[in-house]
């Protein structure tokens, strides 16, 4: 989908019959063990290399009612338990009564005043106009930010992402059926990457287990595998029927006929699917923030699959042509915004291909701290992931003096300074007005 260039007014904003039933925790643990056994029972062993570890407008179709989320707790909590991942636990971590401390609030609960952003997301627009409501959501993200604690955790961020991207609900059974199929054709590649996903980030390692990351990536790999092997006409017919169900529109007679498109996309779509990879290195890092922010693996799965297939499919094709286009756009945008800095880097042979590949591929998720990555992603999902290219340019501009004073800028660009989402977003909305329309159109389409 095309994203219009942000308007001037927007740019000015800096889930035994004799005894008591088993607890949810017990049943969830049994399912995890069964899933792990299924993954481990295949003849394809893990690799021996394993060592010690997305300015758019869309209809909101999947935001859930936050007030109805159950949060059961076991009747006999263990005395000590580490904080588990939101994606791996069915309830909040249990704390020993002797160590009980006041819970941190992020805008929800009794006695806590909800922010305007959270209230709008929960209650919807007053006049019922979805498009106006989405515009107001974007405005509030840019002006007030999402409420979150020191670890970047928010009670409503994941629902905000679902609404902004227009991701419909995914039945839990659909996800479980993919998990229970066992190892995908790309299982070994996945295992080679998962153990080193954000390995130095203590927040991520504390909340998201490697097993959770493996399950999600393996399920997405199965889904992409099925989409590649399904005939195009059948796939398009299925998508059309899913859209009808989503908007509760009865199918017409014409929609029951074989799929026909005046643009004749069958060959192109089939070609794109055959070129698409099931898994490429770096998808593990791109997936990580979804798992960290989500309250369940199913939510993370729905968002991640939608993102890599609809927002940036070019990033996960076998040749990663979308990433390489993005890298060239980093150089061109830097040349327009900061010609002196660009000339200095080019003179040293420092094109973006040499230092910005991870930042383009992962939407800056490779640069800590993770809470700042989440705030940056709030902005990117609100106004378009294509703006990540300009966010990278903004980081280079913030390093401008240091780079120009250093005779070997490659040493500086090996790792970017810690993210400051507020400053990067403010600089991005300032420099976007300097981008020519033709170049901005390339930004919009480079990841497709």
Q: How far is 298 from 57, CA to CA, in rounded Å?
A: 24
pLDDT of 117 strictly over 80: yes
pLDDT of 104 strictly over 50: no
In a domain, 265, yes or no: no
Q: How far is 140 from 118, CA to CA, in rounded Å?
A: 10
Q: Which residue has the higher pLDDT, 46 or 172?
A: 172
What's the pLDDT band for 35 if we cut at 50, 70, 90? low
pLDDT in tens, 305-345: 999 999 999 999 878 999 999 999 999 999 999 999 999 99
In a domain, 396, yes or no: yes
Average pLDDT, stretch 220-235? 78
- Lowest pLDDT segment from 58-67, 159-168, 219-228: 58-67
In a domain, 389, yes or no: yes
pLDDT of 95 strictly over 50: no
pLDDT of 277 strictly over 90: no
Average pLDDT, stretch 425-445? 96
- Lowest pLDDT segment from 64-73, 310-319, 407-416, 421-430: 64-73
pLDDT at position 31 is 61
pLDDT at position 321 is 93
Q: How far is 302 from 192, CA to CA, in rounded Å?
A: 23
For residue 410, the enclosing domain spans 320-445
In a domain, 377, yes or no: yes
Residue 295: φ, ψ to 5°: -95, -5
What's the pLDDT band for 237 if we cut at 50, 70, 90? low
pTM of the model as a whole: 0.70
Report helix, strand or coil for 169.
coil
pLDDT at position 384 is 95
Q: How far is 90 from 25, CA to CA, in rounded Å?
A: 7
What's the pLDDT band for 3 if we cut at 50, 70, 90? low
Please state, as a whole number, how many other Cβ atoms lie within 10 Å of the Cβ of residue 185.
14
Q: How far is 222 from 182, CA to CA, in rounded Å?
A: 9
In a domain, 424, yes or no: yes
Contacts of 246 (CB under 8 A, 6+ apart): 61, 168
pLDDT of 354 strictly over 90: yes
Closest by alpha carbon to 212, among 36, 27, 30? 36
What CATH code is carried by the domain that includes residue 350? Answer: 1.10.472.80
Closest by alpha carbon to 367, among 338, 375, 87? 375
CA 146 to chain centre: 16
- E strands along 87-229, which residues? none
In a domain, 195, yes or no: no
What's the pLDDT band for 25 if we cut at 50, 70, 90? low
Q: How far is 389 from 315, CA to CA, in rounded Å?
A: 13
In a domain, 402, yes or no: yes
Average pLDDT, stretch 56-62? 34
What's the pLDDT band for 93 if we cut at 50, 70, 90? very low
pLDDT of 218 strictly over 80: yes
Tell me if the bond preceding 142 is cis, omega within 30° of 0.
Answer: no
Q: How far is 350 from 48, CA to CA, in rounded Å?
A: 35
pLDDT at position 24 is 54
Q: Tell me what the pLDDT averaged over the chain comes to.
A: 77
Long-range contact list for 81-84, CB < 8 A, 24+ apart?
82/206, 83/206, 83/207, 84/207, 84/209
pLDDT in tens, 379-416: 999 999 999 999 999 999 999 999 999 999 998 998 89
Rg (CA), the chain: 23
Provide the terminal-to-terminal Cα distance of the chain, rounded to the nearest Å. Answer: 9
Average pLDDT, stretch 440-447? 96
pLDDT of 256 strictly over 70: no
Report helix, strand or coil for 173.
helix
Please state, as a whole number, how many other Cβ atoms lie within 10 Å of the Cβ of residue 292.
26
Please state, as a whole number, how many other Cβ atoms lie within 10 Å of the Cβ of residue 222.
21
Domain count, the chain: 1
In a domain, 379, yes or no: yes
Average pLDDT, stretch 80-96? 41
pLDDT above 70: percentage of residues in the chain: 65
């Amino acid at each position: 989908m095309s994203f219009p260039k942000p308007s001037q007014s927007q740019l000015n904003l800096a889930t035994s019959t004799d005894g008591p039933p088993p607890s949810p925790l017990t049943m969830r643990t049994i399912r995890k063990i069964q899933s792990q056994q299924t993954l481990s029972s295949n003849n394809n062993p893990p690799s021996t290399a394993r060592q010690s570890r997305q300015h758019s407008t869309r209809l909101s179709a999947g935001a859930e009612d936050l007030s109805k989320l159950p949060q059961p707790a076991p009747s006999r909590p263990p005395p000590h338990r580490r904080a588990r991942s939101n994606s791996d636990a069915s309830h909040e971590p249990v704390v020993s009564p002797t160590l009980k401390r006041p819970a941190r609030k992020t805008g929800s609960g009794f006695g806590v005043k909800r922010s305007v952003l959270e209230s709008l997301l929960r209650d919807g627009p007053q006049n019922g106009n979805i498009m106006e409501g989405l515009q107001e959501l974007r405005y509030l993200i840019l002006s007030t930010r999402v409420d979150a604690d020191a670890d970047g955790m928010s009670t409503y961020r994941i629902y905000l992402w679902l609404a902004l991207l227009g991701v419909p609900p995914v039945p839990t059974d659909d996800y479980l059926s993919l998990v229970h199929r066992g190892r995908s054709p790309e299982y070994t590649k996945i295992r080679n990457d998962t153990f080193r996903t954000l390995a130095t980030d203590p927040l991520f390692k504390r909340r998201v287990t490697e097993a959770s990351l493996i399950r999600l990536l393996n399920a997405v790999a199965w889904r992409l595998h099925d989409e590649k092997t399904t005939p195009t006409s059948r796939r398009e017919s299925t998508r059309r029927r899913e859209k009808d169900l989503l908007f509760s529109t009865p199918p017409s007679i014409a929609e029951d006929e074989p799929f026909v498109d005046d643009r004749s996309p069958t060959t192109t779509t089939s070609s794109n699917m055959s070129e698409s990879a099931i898994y490429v290195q770096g998808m593990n890092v791109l997936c990580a923030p979804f798992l960290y922010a989500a309250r369940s693996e199913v939510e993370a799965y729905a968002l991640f699959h939608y993102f890599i297939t609809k927002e940036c499919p070019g990033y996960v094709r076998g040749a990663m042509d979308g990433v390489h286009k993005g890298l060239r756009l980093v150089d061109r945008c830097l040349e327009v915004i900061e010609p002196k800095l660009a000339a200095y880097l080019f003179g040293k042979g420092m094109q973006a291909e040499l230092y910005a590949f991870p930042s383009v591929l992962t939407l800056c998720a490779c640069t800590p701290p993770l809470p700042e990555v989440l705030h940056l992603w709030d902005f990117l999902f609100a106004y378009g992931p294509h703006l990540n290219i300009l966010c990278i340019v903004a980081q280079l501009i913030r390093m401008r003096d240091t780079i120009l004073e250093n005779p070997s800028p490659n040493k500086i660009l090996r790792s970017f300074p810690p993210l400051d989402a507020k400053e990067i977003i403010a600089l991005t909305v300032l420099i976007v007005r300097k981008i020519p329309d033709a170049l901005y159109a390339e930004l919009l389409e480079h990841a497709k």
